[in-house]
Amino acid sequence: MKVLHKYLIALFVALLSACGGNSWNNPYPAADVDSNILYSAFAERPKHLDPVQSYSSNEIMFTAQVYEPPLQYHYLKRPYKLVPLSAIKMPVIKFFDKNGERLPDGVDNKKIAYTIYEISIRPGIRYQPHPAFARNNQGKFLYHDLTTKDLEEVYTLNDFHHTGTRELTAEDYVYEIKRLAHPRLHSPIFGLMSDYIVGLKEYSMTLKAAARLQSEKQGEGTYLDLKNYELDGAQVVDLYTYRIKIRGKYPQFMYWLAMPFFAPIPWEAERFYTQQGLAEKNITLDWYPVGTGPYMLTENNPNLVMVLEKNPNYHGETYPNEGTIEDLKLGLLADEGKQLPFISQIKFYRDKEGIPRWNKFLQGYYDASGIGSDSFDQAVQVTGRGEATVTEAMKNQGIRLETAVASSTYYVGFNMLDPIVGGFADSARKLRQAISIAVDYEEYVSIFANGRGIPAQGPIAPGIAGHRYGKEGINTVVYDWKNRKPRRKSIESARALLAEAGFPDGIDVKTSAPLVLYFDVTARGAEDKSELDWMRKQFQKLNIQLVVRSTDYNRFQDKIRKGNAQIFEWGWNADYPDPENFLFLLHGPQRKVGNDGENAANYDNPEYNNLFEKMKNMEDGSERKKLIDRMIRILRHDAPWLWGYHPMDYGLYHAWYKNVKPNRISHNNLKYHRIDANLREQKRKSWNKPVLWPVATLLIVLLISLVPAVVSYRRKERSIGIEYLRERGKNA
């Protein structure tokens, strides 16, 4: 009994403490109240956090805060501008001919055999505390020769009690470039980079042979020390300077230098993680990054929570003091010159379903949220002037909407190898043009994307050099310029084109058979049926029958790869803000069929290909712009895609979340964000007061409903034999 009393008292105290500072529905520990923590959610667990392998947006969300490549994008300036990050200044670029002679800047691109990027990094940058650097008094690494016994009590990286650090050197950058060719790693950009970085392909062979030899001698998975193998294309000049040598001229290479693929990796980390027994405990470089960035990953439980904490060894950076006039108006320059990062800890909780995520955002437990189609009407309203803004309910909560055009494009492609819709014959071209007019993307964006998109005039997304706005930017094959707006051409003009193509009113003049086209999509749920019905309706305007061929994602990809699709949906998120990153999607040598490239439509126009080859190596300027305009004109005329639309990102942010300027190009932005934790706590408390009366009512109703049962039971117990049966008989 005494024990029971003890438990009851403990329970009472626990309940009292629960009723205290923290709201009952607060999912976070009581100790976190008022803390400078940013709360975010993720739906899909990241697969890779090793910068050489990671490529998805749900991975870069973490890696970009930890790893520091030499360059970064200016947070506020648009169009996007590269600025030094760990580099002391922008890379020095030198051109050389095939004999190794230095060429002057502005020389004819054809003469350039090699380009050398010389990068100098800032001295004094130190890595985050990590056991890989820990040394004993004799200067020997503490954890580089772990035994099975040492690992008995180790379950996570935090179980190593000692940590160390060291200064960042140029060799760490070279080491990472070498890792692109590591035989045990899968770098998605190895194929591309081996075409550019001198000797990378051969280096991969060398490492493969070395790894084979080593595994024969020492067993599988042992540490392969890349420092012992020289790579011609990446060389250390001195402690803080390194050079990257690439073939020909490739101006877009600068953008790659702002991605985590080119962030530094210390050899000690790889040496540490490749020890036997650590991978079995899921302690790998792919799961526990080691960087110099503003944050370090201190908890990696991708099933529940991932925590980024301020790196105590961070070299420091200040908030930018330049931006656009719009930024000034929005208060985005209020923190200029202040030390970064502002937030001490970022907690990413795994919430796979949209409904709980949305509810927690409304309760103030997530600081920002995307907008799902289910909650769109609850969150956003469109004003009379066509501007999207938050609803009154959101406004009352202090929630604001931030929008940005994504550097992406969603399109419908025609397979150019298809005998009906493909090729460069006049009939096929006119057929594609007619369909381009008929499929009304203004309507599509309004119905299926809640207005969150801009109908595309070509492949290049707004905000990227080469995209033209206004009258000069419209696709004259599909649009006319009327009342200072692009107006889709009439369906009659599409029908006229269709007739010229040899399909008057949707009938093939050669066979007199109705024109039937096939639309290949990935398997859809019932919710997408309306979208496919809409697409059928668009083709029906031209009397073309559209047959939807729905397959699973694997079969769909297979069809695209083999060129068996006729019309298909596809999309592209830009890697970097350069038109080349969109225009290469239609470059002939990069077609899917035969070449396994990214040109899914298999578009292969020699004139376009030549212009592309010229354009991609040019510096931005009027000359390049002219070339791009010509290329776009060719594309619009050939119409290998229905240009589709460029999506817009809509994000909701609570009043306490400051300094947000969303974009999809740069990802290391969390260091600029700021939280007013006191305001958040006040709001959370006022929004989440427990409502107890429904529970009390429910209990009372339950008790009342028991009364007849109790009465009936007592009557039954009191009654005896025949009297009871008689009673029951009467009731019956």
Partner 1 sequence: MLNYIIRRIFYAIPILIGVNLITFTLFFVVNTPDDMARMHLGTKRVTPEAITKWKQERGYDKPLVFNTTEEGARKFIQTIFFEKSAAMFAFNFGRADDGRDISHEIKTRMLPSLAIALPVFFLGLVIHITFALVMVFFRATYIDFWGVVFCVALMSISSLFYIIGGQFLISKLWHLVPVSGFSDGLDAGKFLVLPVIIGVISGAGASTRWYRTIFLEEMGKDYVRTARAKGLPETLVLFRHVLRNALIPILTGAVVVIPLLFLGSLIAESFFGIPGLGSYTIDAINSQDFAVVRAMVFLGSFLYIIGLILTDISYTLVDPRIRLE
The correct pick among 124, 514, 594, 690 for binding partner 1 (CB under 8 A) is 690
Q: Residue 38 or residue 474: which is nearer to partner 1 going by CB?
A: 38
Interface pick for partner 1 out of 139, 384, 694, 729 (rule CB under 8 A):
694
The verdict on 190 binding partner 1 (CB under 8 A) reads: yes
106 exposure class (CB count in 10 Å sphere: 0-12, 13-18, 19+) = exposed
Give the interface segment with partner 1, choosing from 426-434, 446-454, 543-551, 688-696 (CB under 8 A): 688-696
Q: How far is the CB of 599 from partner 1 (least distance, A)?
A: 13
Binding mask 331-360 for partner 1 (x = CB under 8 A): ------------------xxxxx-xx--xx
Binding mask 636-675 vs partner 1 (x if CB under 8 A, - otherwise)?
Answer: ----------------------------------------
Site membership for partner 1, residue 522 (CB under 8 A): no
Least Å distance, CB 19 to partner 1, is 12
What separation in angstroms does the CA of 2 have from each of 7, 8, 525, 626?
9, 10, 59, 89
Q: Which is nearer to partner 1, 55 or 314 (CB)?
A: 55
Q: Cα(688)–Cα(362) distance, rounded to whole angstroms?
A: 10
Q: How far apart are CA 63 and CA 667, in angstroms?
A: 9
The yes or no reply on residue 210 touching partner 1 (CB under 8 A) is no
- For 45-70, the DSSP string reads --S--STTT--SHHHHHHHHHH---S
When asked if residue 48 is in the footprint of partner 1 (CB under 8 A), the reply is yes
For 663, the token pair is: 């974009």
When asked if residue 7 is in the footprint of partner 1 (CB under 8 A), the reply is: no
Specify the residue, 277 or 473, whose C-beta has the smaller distance to partner 1: 277
Interior/surface letters 702-715, b for 16+ CB within 10 angstroms, e for the rest:
eeeeeeeeeeeeee
**Nearer to partner 1 by C-beta: 286 or 367?**
286
Report the nearest approach of partner 1 to the CB of residue 365 (Å).
Answer: 8
Q: 441 Cβ partners below 8 Å, 6+ apart? A: 455, 456, 642, 643, 644, 645
Can you read off the two tokens belonging to residue 618?
Answer: 């040019």
* Calpha distance 647→452 (Å, rounded): 6
Contact characters 577-596, partner 1, x per CB under 8 A: -------------------x
Radius of gyration in angstroms for the set of CA atoms belonging to the chain, rounded to a whole number: 31
What's the CA gap between 57 and 42, in Å, rounded? 11
Binder of partner 1 out of 709, 722, 729, 730 (CB under 8 A): 709
Minimum separation from the CB atom of position 25 to partner 1 (A): 5
From the list 716, 725, 726, 727, which residue makes contact with partner 1 (rule: CB under 8 A)?
716
Helix, strand or coil, per DSSP, at residue 568:
strand
Minimum distance from residue 90 beta carbon to partner 1 (Å): 26
Q: Which is nearer to partner 1, 26 or 86 (CB)?
A: 26
Contact yes or no for 248/115 (Cβ under 8 A): yes
554 forms part of the interface with partner 1 (CB under 8 A): yes
From 310, 307, 313, select the one nearest 292 (Cα to Cα): 313
Q: Is 24 in the site for partner 1 (CB under 8 A)?
A: yes
Site residues (CB under 8 A) for partner 1, limited to 359-418 = 359-360, 362-363, 365
Residue whose CB is less far from partner 1, 7 or 424: 7
Q: Which of 284, 344, 476, 551 binds partner 1 (CB under 8 A)?
A: 284
User: Is 691 a residue that touches partner 1 (CB under 8 A)?
Assistant: yes
Q: Which two tokens stand for residue 533?
A: 């019905």
> What are the C-alpha distances in Å from 655 to residues 97, 200, 522, 612, 637?
57, 49, 40, 46, 48
Q: Quick one: residue 139, left, alpha or beta (phi over 0 = left, psi -120 to 50 = alpha)?
A: left
Site string for partner 1, 297-336 (x = CB under 8 A): ----x-xx--------------------------------
Please tell me the number of Cα atoms within 13 Å of 3 on its side-chain side.
Answer: 0
In 230-386, DSSP assigns E strands to 234-238, 241-247, 295-301, 305-310, 317-318, 339-340, 345-350, 368-370, 380-382
Binding site for partner 1 (CB under 8 A): 14, 18, 23-27, 29, 45, 47-48, 55-56, 184, 186, 188-192, 279-282, 284, 286-287, 301, 303-304, 349-353, 355-356, 359-360, 362-363, 365, 552-554, 557-558, 575, 596, 598, 688-692, 694-695, 708-709, 712-713, 716-717, 728
